[in-house]
Amino acid sequence: MVIPEDRQLNIVVAVKLVPDTNADKRIDPQTRRLVRSAAETVLNPFDEYAIEAGLQLKEQLADGSSVTIVTMAPESGKEVVRKALAMGADRAVMLSDPAFAGSDVWATAYVLAAGIRRIGFDLVLTGTQSTDAITGELPGALAEYLGVPGLTYAREIHVAAGRVRVKRETDTGYQTLSAPLPALASITKSAAEPRFASLKGIMAAKKKEIAVLRLADLEIAQAVGGDGAKLEVTELTASPARAAGKTVTAADGNAGARTIVAFLKERNLL
Amino acid sequence: MSTYRAPLRDMQFVLHELAGLADIAKLPGFEDTPDVVDAILEEASTFASEVLDPINRTGDVEGCTYRDGNVTTPAGFKEAYHQFAKAGWIGLPVSPEHGGQGLPQLLLGPTLEMWNGANVGFANGPLLNQGAIEAIELCGSDAQKHTYIPKLVSGEWCGTMCLTEPQAGSDLAAVRTKAVPDGDHYKISGQKIYITFGEHDMAPNIIHLVLARLPDAPEGTKGISLFIVPKILVNADGSLGERNDVFCAGIEHKLGINGNPTCTLNYGEKGGAIGYLVGEPNRGLEYMFIMMNAARFSTGVQGLAIADRAYQSALAYAKERLQSREVAGKSRAAAPIIKHPDVRRMLMSMKSQIEAMRALSYVAAASLDLAAKHPDAAVRKQHKAFIELMIPVVKGWCSETATELCSTAVQVFGGMGYIEETGIAQQYRDVKIVSIYEGTTGIQALDLVGRKLIRDMGTTATAVIKQMKKSAAGLDESNADVAAIKSQLTSAIDLLAEASQFIGMNAMSDLNRAFSCSVPYLKLWGVVAGGWQMARAAQISAAKIAAGDADPFYAAKLITARFYADHVLSQSLWLHHEIVRGSASVMALREDQFDLDRQLLVTA
Ligand SMILES: Cc1cc2nc3c(=O)[nH]c(=O)nc-3n(C[C@H](O)[C@H](O)[C@H](O)COP(=O)(O)OP(=O)(O)OC[C@H]3O[C@@H](n4cnc5c(N)ncnc54)[C@H](O)[C@@H]3O)c2cc1C
């Protein structure tokens, strides 16, 4: 499929609703899943960069291209999704069905791909990882299920002449990649700082559509939710409590100074 | 220095459970408010913390600079203003017809509190836009509305209020600035002083609202008219034309709010600034009085906001600063000062009075909406009367209390409080202005006693006292704290009723005596009305707790309300004493007797 140059783009930003990192987290020992309560759910902070990139692309194109938010989450997360609309996205689609519960990253990517195909897309944007699971695997899996090129870790993104071009961050430097649309790109935190939702945005978001798609609305050909998961969490242990620190004060005099020097040397910091 | 964190939970509590957001949402046009209120609180708090707070201290240190008639605001102010304007915050209460968001005045409570808590120097700017918008919306012609309002709402232009002159501060009847008819406009000449944001670099045009006198105007208050005087004249097509004859002659060096310029403006040095009459001739002060309610409410909220900011810093410091062992502890180690009972008392004193101010001012804001929009004329009238009575109380009591509380916050810091780098000193300096501009506390008290009590023959005061009594009688004594609050509140209301009667009686025989203790009387109103709201909060909290609600917010609220009853409502005793027993001694000393203490006694 070649996308003509003058066509308006359907930019779809896939986002995740995650527990607020400031909130207390609790894991249900039975299901080994995080206990999620609506009150403490927020937009995955990494995804805000993808939303920002989508909005900037839309503004640059200024040709009626649109930004659609998609998330697989229970409907109780609607107000969180509305925040993305308040930032300026045009509409949102929630993929909500009890059958989706228990999905791992692969099952999630599969359902998201089905939802995104149903919405129709030219460019899919994601964050690089989520603050709760931190696997960083979803962008790759999603590109795979969508059958489109996946350009990951983009710190810059441009669209022209039916192609997407990104500046990709690596450990050693940058790569410039380009691919034909449709495609997927994951956006890093060093792209633009996400905008604040404005009062105008909040008021406008009230009138924007948040559609809900259920399992039956999607073309799904394999097991989803817990049954479709490839990963199984076999054990969960709390991370060990951090050992008490050592305090050195001026009163320790030279001995204190020697302690600090020894400490730094031990860690090859001196 | 800590960063600003908005008191979001208390704001939600006051909006929903005390100020009746659900009732406001029943008013025409406000139906959607409950859907957006949380998002607004959250985004406003992010904006306050991340955009306005970082330039608060820098704005204070850098200040504004004046050069050849131009004023440069501190680094970051211009950018923050553009961001603020673009987000649409200026238009929050403005009708959609003029490009605003048409939200209730009630939401000005928390949003103004956040802007001013994070950066009062900055927040004055958008407030002036709102004032100018309101003036033109209320009394301007259609053409004026069309020309000025949309650009003031979008923030493309800024506004000012030019009232004060060297000889006309509290008494605006003394305004001398002249306005001479000249075709379809007027030629304005004269000097205005202390004009906030009178000149600056944040926007390409400034729309001055100026009080001036027509040549044939009668003396006094009934001879003052209101004019629009743009810094840059606006062409018929809306584009900017020539520079008008208004010149900024300098800016003041001042105690606080250094982030914004306080300007001297000279009108008509080159033959007369072009001005356009707003509404009818000679009705300027009358128009100002209509707008005064919103402006004075905002100023009261400014006080509350700065006090809350100071309290926040003091609390953080009290948890960190280690000094002295605990009086009741075994350890010899230095404890965080929050462990010391006197520091606790200071923190509770701040917390309880801030919550009372917040409750009373938001409740007053809800009445502004009900007075404007309720379908039943009788209800509108009742709220209008309530507002008229409460506005000087909210402005005067909040600003005076806030000033005291900022001093308390400095005290919590000890020596560090006196050192500028902690930022608390800035709060202490900044807050003082709120009891001066928009009418000093003395003028608020004059308004309360003269216009709202005496001229009204005590009708509204009596009605509100009755309303408070009814509320107090309904307090449920099954909770020990609520029962204690009830008894304190009931006697405080009685004392207020007595003091009102005392002043009313004296008004007939001895006006000096009636006005001698007008400020203590205003404070008495604040203390009691604030106590009334805290009692309501206590009652709601006790009921929640009794019903098994485990939200620790309610338990804290109940304790705070109890503290208020014992430590603040109890002030009603001495305020009453001051008014009833002390009025006579206020004017007893002859003017020449004031200086007797400075003359060396020469013994032969
Ligand atoms: C930083 C700053 C910003 C300002 N911004 C603006 C602005 O944007 N626009 C504007 O027009 N003005 C502005 N003002 C002016 C401000 O509103 C006046 O300073 C204020 O109203 C007091 O007037 P005054 O300074 O003339 O004091 P005065 O009126 O001289 O008052 C001095 C004292 O006398 C008392 N007093 C006066 N009359 C009475 C009375 N009848 N009964 C009892 N007590 C009385 C007062 O309470 C006060 O304690 C600003 C002032 C400052 C300092």
User: Which amino acid, residue B43?
Assistant: E
In whole angstroms, give the CA distance from residue B309 to residue B389: 28
Listed range (A133-142, A194-203, B311-320) with the worst mean pLDDT? A133-142
B602 contact partners, CB below 8 Å, separation of at least 6: none
Listed range (A20-29, A107-116, B167-176, B339-348) with the worst mean pLDDT? A20-29
CA dist B403 → A158, B115, B573 (Å)? 54, 18, 22
Which strand (E) or helix (H) includes residue B569? none
Which residues on A lie below 8 Å from B101 (Cβ)?
199-200, 203
Atom of ligand 1 nearest to the CA of B254: 1
- Closest approach of chain B CAs to the CA of A82, in angstroms? 9
Buried/exposed code over A192-219 (b: 16+ C-beta within 10 A; e: otherwise): eebbbbbbbbbbbbeebebeebebeebe
User: Which amino acid, residue A152?
Assistant: T
Considering Cα of A249, then A252, then A254, then A260, what sign does the dihedral take?
negative
DSSP string, A16-31: -EEE-TTS---EETTT
Q: Given an 8 Å threshold on Cβ–Cβ distance, is B87 in contact with A86?
A: no
Using an 8 Å Cβ cutoff, are B180 and B174 in contact?
Answer: no
Using an 8 Å Cβ cutoff, are A224 and A107 in contact?
Answer: yes
What value does the mean pLDDT take over residues B486-515? 95
pLDDT tier at A226 (50, 70, 90 boundaries)? confident
Q: Given an 8 Å threshold on Cβ–Cβ distance, is A196 in contact with B89?
A: no
Atom of ligand 1 nearest to the CA of B518: 43
Of B78, B109, B90, B64, nearest to B155 by C-alpha is B90
- Closest approach of chain B CAs to the CA of A80, in angstroms? 9
What's the pLDDT at B518?
A: 97
Backbone angles phi, psi at B162, to 5 degrees: -110, 90
Using an 8 Å Cβ cutoff, are B276 and B137 in contact?
Answer: no
Three-state DSSP state, B548? coil
Reading the block at residue B308, the tokens are 């809350």
B167 within ligand 1 shell (Cβ under 6 A): no
**In the predicted structure, residue A1 carries a pLDDT above the cut 50:** no
Q: Given an 8 Å threshold on Cβ–Cβ distance, is A203 in contact with B47?
A: no
Question: How many Cα atoms within 13 Å fall on the side-chain side of residue B434?
Answer: 37
CA dist B45 → A96, B92, B357 (Å)? 30, 15, 19
Question: What is the pTM for the complete model shown?
Answer: 0.91
Q: Given an 8 Å threshold on Cβ–Cβ distance, is B39 in contact with A79?
A: yes
What's the pLDDT at B412?
A: 98
Q: Which CATH architecture has domain B158-282?
A: Beta Barrel (2.40)
Using an 8 Å Cβ cutoff, are B301 and B359 in contact?
Answer: no
Beta strand A66-72 pairing with A163-169: unpaired
What's the pLDDT at B586?
A: 95
Hey, is the C-beta of A38 within 8 angstroms of any chain B C-beta? no
How remote is the C-alpha of A152 from its chain's centroid?
A: 12
User: Which amino acid, residue A221?
Assistant: A
Mean per-residue pLDDT over chain A, rounded:
89
What's the pLDDT at B575?
A: 98
Chain position carrying tokens 């306050």: B48
pLDDT tier at B2 (50, 70, 90 boundaries)? low
B135 within ligand 1 shell (Cβ under 6 A): no
A68 contact partners, CB below 8 Å, separation of at least 6: A10, A11, A12, A13, A89, A90, A91, A92, A93, A119, A121
Angle between helices B341-373 and B552-564 (to 10 degrees): 100
B128 contact partners, CB below 8 Å, separation of at least 6: B158, B159, B160, B161, B196, B197
Three-state DSSP state, B316? helix
In whole angstroms, give the CA distance from residue B355 to residue B109: 13
Distance of CA B568 from the midpoint of ligand 1 (Å): 29
CA dist B458 → B297, B395, B461 (Å)? 22, 20, 5
Using an 8 Å Cβ cutoff, are A51 and A87 in contact?
Answer: yes
What value does the mean pLDDT take over residues B560-565? 98
Buried/exposed code over A2-39 (b: 16+ C-beta within 10 A; e: otherwise): ebeeeeebbbbbbbbbbbeeeeeeeeeeeeeeeebeee
In whole angstroms, give the CA distance from residue A142 to residue A162: 21
**In the predicted structure, residue B245 carries a pLDDT above the cut 90:** yes
Considering Cα of B271, then B276, then B278, then B279, what sign does the dihedral take?
positive
In whole angstroms, give the CA distance from residue B401 to residue B571: 13
Of B542, B547, B411, nearest to B481 by C-alpha is B542
Q: What is the ipTM of this complex?
A: 0.85
Which residues on B lie below 8 Å from A197 (Cβ)?
39, 43
What's the pLDDT at A2?
A: 45
Mean per-residue pLDDT over chain B, rounded:
96
pLDDT tier at A143 (50, 70, 90 boundaries)? very high
Structural domains of chain A, with CATH: 10-228 (3.40.50.620)
Nearest chain A Cα to B49, which residue? A196
Listed range (A59-63, B346-350, B412-416) with the worst mean pLDDT? A59-63
In whole angstroms, give the CA distance from residue B438 to residue B302: 12
What's the pLDDT at A35?
A: 67
**In the predicted structure, residue B1 carries a pLDDT above the cut 60:** no
pLDDT tier at B218 (50, 70, 90 boundaries)? very high
B171 C-beta neighbours (distance < 10 Å), count:
11
Number of helices and strands in chain B (H, E)? 19, 12
What's the pLDDT at B22?
A: 97
The CATH number fitting domain B440-584, selected from 1.10.3470, 1.20.120, 3.60.70, 3.40.50:
1.20.120
Within B140-163, residue ranges assigned H as helices are 142-154
Which strand (E) or helix (H) includes residue B563? helix B552-564
Q: Which residues pair with A71 in a beta bridge?
A: A94
CA dist B284 → B15, B140, B196, B291, B292 (Å)? 34, 11, 20, 11, 12
Distance of CA B435 from the midpoint of ligand 1 (Å): 9
User: Which amino acid, residue A140?
Assistant: G
Using an 8 Å Cβ cutoff, are B522 and B533 in contact?
Answer: no
B272 against A7, higher pLDDT? B272
Using an 8 Å Cβ cutoff, are B375 and B277 in contact?
Answer: no
What value does the mean pLDDT take over residues B584-599? 93
**In the predicted structure, residue A89 carries a pLDDT above the cut 50:** yes
- Of chain B, the percentage scoring pLDDT greater than 70 comes to 100
Question: How many Cα atoms within 13 Å fall on the side-chain side of residue A50?
Answer: 31
Using an 8 Å Cβ cutoff, are B195 and B228 in contact?
Answer: no
Q: Given an 8 Å threshold on Cβ–Cβ distance, is A203 in contact with B46?
A: no
In whole angstroms, give the CA distance from residue B127 to residue B298: 8
Choose the mutation target among B8, B12, B32, B43 for the interface with A, i.e. most A CBs under 10 Å: B43
B348 contact partners, CB below 8 Å, separation of at least 6: B560, B563, B567
- Closest approach of chain B CAs to the CA of A39, in angstroms? 12
What's the pLDDT at B440?
A: 98
In whole angstroms, give the CA distance from residue B498 to residue B465: 11
Running DSSP on this structure, what letter comes out for residue B551? -
A133 C-beta neighbours (distance < 10 Å), count:
16
A102 against B26, higher pLDDT? B26
What value does the mean pLDDT take over residues A169-194? 94
**In the predicted structure, residue A3 carries a pLDDT above the cut 70:** no
Using CB atoms and an 8 Å cut-off, which of residues 188-207 of chain B contact chain A?
none
B111 within ligand 1 shell (Cβ under 6 A): no
Hey, is the C-beta of B108 within 8 angstroms of any chain A C-beta? no
B303 against A209, higher pLDDT? B303
Using CB atoms and an 8 Å cut-off, which of residues 61-80 of chain A contact chain B?
79
What's the pLDDT at B455?
A: 92
Q: Which CATH architecture has domain B8-154?
A: Orthogonal Bundle (1.10)
Distance of CA B437 from the midpoint of ligand 1 (Å): 6
Atom of ligand 1 nearest to the CA of B163: 11
Reply yes or no on whether B420 is catalytic: no
How remote is the C-alpha of A157 from its chain's centroid?
A: 17
Hey, is the C-beta of B89 within 8 angstroms of any chain A C-beta? yes
B165 C-beta neighbours (distance < 10 Å), count:
19
What's the pLDDT at B54?
A: 97
**In the predicted structure, residue A243 carries a pLDDT above the cut 90:** no
B508 contact partners, CB below 8 Å, separation of at least 6: none
In whole angstroms, give the CA distance from residue B569 to residue B159: 40
Nearest chain B Cα to A200, which residue? B88
Three-state DSSP state, B166? coil
Using CB atoms and an 8 Å cut-off, which of residues 31-50 of chain B contact chain A?
32, 35-36, 38-40, 43-44, 46-47, 50
Which residues on A lie below 8 Å from B87 (Cβ)?
196, 198-201
B442 within ligand 1 shell (Cβ under 6 A): yes
B446 within ligand 1 shell (Cβ under 6 A): yes
Q: What angle do CA B32, B35, B36 make, to 5 degrees?
A: 95
Write the residue with the smallest CA distance to atom 32 of ligand 1: B170
Q: What angle do CA B159, B148, B260 make, to 5 degrees?
A: 15
Reading the block at residue B495, the tokens are 């004392």
What's the pLDDT at A23?
A: 66
Q: What residue spans define the domains of chain B?
A: 8-154, 158-282, 440-584
Beta strand B65-67 pairing with B185-196: unpaired
Backbone angles phi, psi at A136, to 5 degrees: 70, 15
Q: Catalytic residue among B438, B498, B578, B591, which?
A: B438
Reading the block at residue B341, the tokens are 């009972």
What's the pLDDT at A36?
A: 61
Of B211, B437, B441, B521, the residue with max ligand 1 atoms within 8 A of its CB, to mutate for a pocket test, comes to B437
Which residues on A lie below 8 Å from B47 (Cβ)?
196
User: For A146-168, how does the pLDDT look when each residue is reduced to its tens digit (9 = 90+)?
Assistant: 999 999 999 999 998 899 999 99
What's the pLDDT at B163?
A: 96
Of B499, B326, B324, B359, nearest to B17 by C-alpha is B359
